[in-house]
Structure formats: structure tokens, C-alpha cells
């Protein structure tokens, strides 16, 4: 295994690499928030955060005399995407595609 200095220096390198990847993607605009980079957290999912926000926006649209389809059409795609069952962190979240390639999931939506 080696001495403690080797282990610590290699773990520091891994942490710095991950930090540079995160900083780079956020700096150059391909991800603007941590949720876009890592996906929803288990806490957000379990508390129904995205579901509540969608319900709030649809209710506000209905209160403004919009039809149901008009109110739903105003929901941003990202918000609807985070509420999708395939993004559930308990079922692999956004990283499900890696697991699909090695055969751990059988269905394409990950909702099992």
C-alpha cells in the first residue's frame, strides 16, 4: 500500500482534479448551478422540492385565468426534467446511464 504520504498525496490530487472539473464546467458555462452539474440531491427529491415548485407555478397560472395546458407549458424544461422519476437519486439519478452499460438496470427509465 505504501506510506501515508503517498496515500495522502494521491487523494489530494484526486480532489483537486474533481475541483478543477467542477470549476471549469461552471466557469465556461456548460453548467451554471451545482444542480445542473450533479443533479438533484436526495434531500431535494425526498422533500418533493421540484414537485412543489411545479405545483406552485401551475396554481399561479390557473389563478391568472390561464388554461391548464397554458399553465403547464410555462414550466421550464429543466424543472420538469429534475422532477422526472429517472432523476431520482435513490435509483441512480443522472448517473444511471453508466450503470445501464454494465447491465445493472433492465428498464430504460430507471423507475423500478
The pLDDT value recorded for residue 111 is: 52
pLDDT at 65: 95
Is 14 within 8 Å of 8 (Cβ atoms)?
no
pLDDT of residue 100: 46
Do 26 and 45 fall within a single domain?
Answer: no
Number of independent structural domains in the chain: 2
In which domain, by residue range, is 10 found?
A: 1-38
Residue 24 and residue 51 share a domain: no
Whether residue 111 sits in one domain with residue 60:
yes
Are residues 64 and 80 both part of a single domain?
Answer: yes
Q: Phi/psi zone of residue 111: left (φ > 0), alpha (ψ -120 to 50 degrees), beta?
A: alpha
54 and 21 part of one domain: no
Verify that 53 and 33 share a domain, yes or no.
no
User: Quick one: 53 and 91 in the same domain?
Assistant: yes
**HEC-encoded secondary structure of 13-36:** HHHHHHHHHHHHHHHCCCCCCHHH
Higher pLDDT pick, 12 / 85: 12
- In this structure, of 4-13, 47-56, 90-99, 100-109, the range with the lowest mean pLDDT score is 100-109
Domain match, 54 and 99 both: yes
In this structure, what CATH number is given to the domain that contains residue 109?
Answer: 3.10.680.10
Are 74 and 107 in the same domain?
yes
Amino acid at each position: 500500500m505504501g506510506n501515508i504520504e503517498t496515500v495522502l498525496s494521491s487523494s489530494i490530487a484526486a480532489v483537486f482534479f474533481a475541483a478543477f472539473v467542477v470549476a471549469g464546467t461552471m466557469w465556461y458555462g456548460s453548467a451554471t448551478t451545482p444542480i445542473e452539474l450533479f443533479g438533484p440531491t436526495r434531500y431535494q427529491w425526498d422533500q418533493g422540492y421540484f414537485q412543489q415548485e411545479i405545483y406552485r407555478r401551475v396554481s399561479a397560472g390557473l389563478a391568472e385565468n390561464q388554461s391548464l395546458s397554458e399553465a403547464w407549458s410555462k414550466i421550464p424544461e429543466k424543472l420538469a426534467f429534475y422532477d422526472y422519476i429517472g432523476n431520482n437519486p435513490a435509483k441512480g439519478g443522472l448517473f444511471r446511464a453508466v450503470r445501464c452499460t454494465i447491465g445493472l438496470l433492465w428498464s430504460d427509465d430507471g423507475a423500478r
